[in-house]
Amino acid sequence: LFVDFTGEKLHLVDKISGEITDVEVFVAILGCSQLTFVMAVLSQRKEDFILGCEKALHFYGGVPLAIVPDNLRSAVTKASKYEAQLNDSFAAFAEHYHTFGFPTRAYKPKDKALVEGAVKIIYTTIFSKMDQKIYHKLDAINSDILLHLKSHNETNLTGENYSRMQQFLELEKETLQPLNPYLFELMTVQLAT
């Protein structure tokens, strides 16, 4: 499972003050079927990153052998060309779901080319349809994303007679491990002196 955040953001507008708040968009894509999951979150902090990963696993109904994030701080404490070090929270999340966190190499975008391509497609299939609408709540953004995402995943791939969803059901669904029946509970650690 390749995961990343989009560069462009969606926006929430406060009903009273009219203040505009940017929200991050989390994207996940499976390697074989290219079945895509998209979700708006408030930030790129580890809490929101892990929430996005967990929602993606439940969207797919199973756990892949590895989750491949970028070298963002939400997942990695020390980036490296050879072997990045996962932060404790993301490592605990991966262990909870019996999978591996396998960050890409630093400055190697080809390591996650699939999710980079998915982000570009999401701009045209989802973002372009949501630009004209004003959103006041994150839940409203996510419900609209799911509507457009359903269409995106069920549309036939270019030049093919099958969709991402058909590929997922035929080839990839059986390879996923079962979900942990308990949701992951993120712990916060603070040092006091």
Query: 29: closest CA among 7, 11, 6?
Result: 6
Give tens-digit pLDDT for 3-21.
999 999 999 999 999 899 9
pLDDT of residue 113: 83
Measured between alpha carbons, how far is residue 47 from residues 186, 187, 188 in Å? 7, 10, 10
Measured between alpha carbons, how far is residue 168 from residues 85, 118, 120, 136, 164 in Å? 31, 16, 21, 34, 6
State the pTM of this model: 0.89
Give tens-digit pLDDT for 118-150.
899 999 999 998 888 899 999 999 999 999 999
Quick one: pLDDT band at residue 193, thresholds 50, 70, 90? confident
**46-60 and 88-96 helices cross at what angle (nearest 10)?**
20
pLDDT at 109 over 70: no
Q: What span, in angstroms and rounded, lies between the C-alpha atoms of 51 and 39?
A: 10
